[in-house]
Chains A and B, each alone.
Chain A
Amino acid sequence: MVDVESTPLLHVRTYGQIAWLWIRAAWQYPTSFVLLAVGNGLITGLDFVGLWIMFTHLSDLAGFSLREVGLLYGSASLALALADTAIGSVERIGTYIRTGRLDQMMTKPVPLLVQVCADQFTLRRLGRLTQASAVFGWACTSVDWTPLRVLVAVSMIVSGALVFFGLFVGFSCIQFWTTDATEFANAFTYGGATVTQYPLSIFPREIFVGLTFVIPVAFVNWYPCLYLLGRTDPFGTPDALQFASPLAAVLTVTAALLVWRSGVRHYASTGS
């Protein structure tokens, strides 16, 4: 028998239990529950309508057709939706610190990160997930599929979700040091997500380099999509980067977990 006590499996199970609790709680207000899901789908849906409207004035955006931009948009949005559904609550740790809930959580026999991520779990992101899948599915028809491309596509979604996971967790840790600067993180998390809607070739080279090495969102969709579409990078980066997304994901998550650890160690309660 596996020793459940110490495996990550247990954490996943606990996560599931807490998440289920919150789903049942949210269902107590069914109107709100449905509106939240539909509303979130609508926000992202209208996002894509915005891109479509842009293309009524254009034949291509920096050399990319609407369907190709759809591939960039759909894959990034899908990755973001997965990450956000799983760990969206981590953005709220500032509130937990202020209200003293973090102290309560620390006394419980479940890792803090699991508790924080699962707290107030919400299925409202189902709306975004559905919409992103639809756009991605439609855009997939522009790809000339080979077995390797399928593999790259799958690894792109998984790595993308992990990169966003890392960004959300990492930047939320700012709140261990300052409790009301939550919005600072949005510039990198949601800002990163917004950047990925467009072909990165619309940006100057300096920003592009930053999006590869500092906030590595270029690995979420840009590099793998270049491979899927059989293009070379307009910035002239090596082709090897097109397969480097899993590596970027591992590095981002590792960095985020380190920051999280040092944040928790730094944390000394508000005393309330």
Chain B
Amino acid sequence: MLHVAIATRAFRRYSTYRAATLAGIFTNSVFGVIYSFAYLALWDANPTAGGYDSQDAVTYVWLGQALLMTIALWGGGTTDDLADRVRTGDIAVDLYRPVGLVGWYLASDLGRAAFHLLTRGLAPTVIGFVVFHIAMPSSLLNAAAFAVSLVLAVVVSFAIRFLVASTAFWLLDQSGVTVMSGAFAIFFSGMMLPLVLFPGWLGTVANALPWASYVQVPADIWLGKHTGTGLLGALGFQVFWAGVLLLACQGVLSLATRKVVVQGG
């Protein structure tokens, strides 16, 4: 129950910034239009590139714009608070609390993601549907699987952002690591270009890295590219990375805690 309360508060906290939300939707949509025309030019010249057709490609663009804030691809989200609190020393207060730190921040990040999904996620999808006639999930099963995949995408992204924020325990200023990790995220998530276009070994590597859970996996589920056991495999891939990375968060945190205790004397 506590975690639900945390998530609700986070949802409400983010919903305060109405003008920012509208501005964000506008910006996402502008980028959606730009990338749509770029992809249309690509698929016009090569109509079967990466096993997508041009409608798949445009759908992929708008899903990417819809997911951008929901999964906090650029970093940000509640893990930024964590880094700030490490720098200011407020983290000591958090560590007193009789609640696990990872669970606390994960709950609040899920609340944030829910808000971003309903605003920054939904609006570009609708605009993409109206203007570019993007595809909708072909069956109820696909839609349900997409919903599950979305939650897993947020968890994987949260875990990576948590690890990045945790570097503040050692570096005090995590902004450099944040930028680096953002660069990897944008490239290997398929946000910049669908991973299905990546040639040879680069494609193999990109599809195995945790970032593939951000955009490529949910988008492929939406597009109905995974069926039957393939669908389970795709979700299993996300579950695997979510589990591994959350364990890593816990591990890094216990290492860091020891360090904080030493600093505090």
Residues of A that sit less than 8 Å from B by CB? 29, 31-36, 38-40, 42-43, 46-47, 49-50, 53-54, 56-62, 124, 178, 180-184, 186-188, 191, 194-195, 198, 202-204, 207
Contacts and interface: CB of A to CB of B under 8 A. Distances in A.
B171 A32 contact: yes
A33 B174 CA distance: 10
A43 B186 contact: yes
Q: Identify whether the interface residues of A are mostly helix, strand, loop, or mixed.
A: helix
Contacts of B99: none
Contacts of A191: 27, 30-31, 34
Given A34-B176, A35-B177, 11 more contacts: A32-B173, A32-B174, A35-B179, A39-B182, A40-B179, A43-B186, A50-B192, A57-B45, A61-B45, A183-B23, A202-B37
Contact of B176 (A33, A50, A182, A188): A33
B141 to A, nearest CB: 31
Contacts of B180: 35, 38-39, 42
Interface string B180-205: 10111011000011000111001000
Nearest to B25: A183
B250 interface: no
A181 B24 CA distance: 8
B175 A36 contact: yes
B197 A53 contact: yes
B41 A53 contact: no
Q: Size band of the B side of the interface?
A: 35 or more
A25 B215 CA distance: 37
Given A29-B173, A57-B49, A182 B23 contact: yes
- Which A-B residue pairs are the 4 nearest by beta carbons? A35-B176, A39-B179, A32-B176, A184-B23
Contact of B34 (A46, A49, A181, A195): A195
B161 to A, nearest CB: 15
Contacts of A207: 33, 37
Contacts of A54: 42, 193, 197
A58 B17 contact: no
Given A43-B182, A46-B183, A53-B193, A58 B45 contact: yes
Contact of B183 (A39, A57, A181): A39
Interface string B13-32: 00001011011101100110
A58 B31 contact: no
Interface in B87-127: none
A48 B17 CA distance: 34
A31 B180 CA distance: 12
A46 B186 contact: yes
Q: Which of B23, B27, B176, B184 has the most CB of A within 10 A?
A: B176
Given A29-B171, A35-B180, A53-B198, A46 B41 contact: no
A42 B183 contact: yes
Given A50-B192, A198-B41, A187 B30 contact: yes
20 contacts: A29-B173, A31-B171, A32-B171, A39-B176, A42-B184, A43-B182, A46-B187, A49-B187, A53-B198, A54-B193, A57-B197, A58-B46, A62-B41, A178-B19, A183-B23, A183-B24, A187-B27, A187-B31, A194-B31, A202-B40
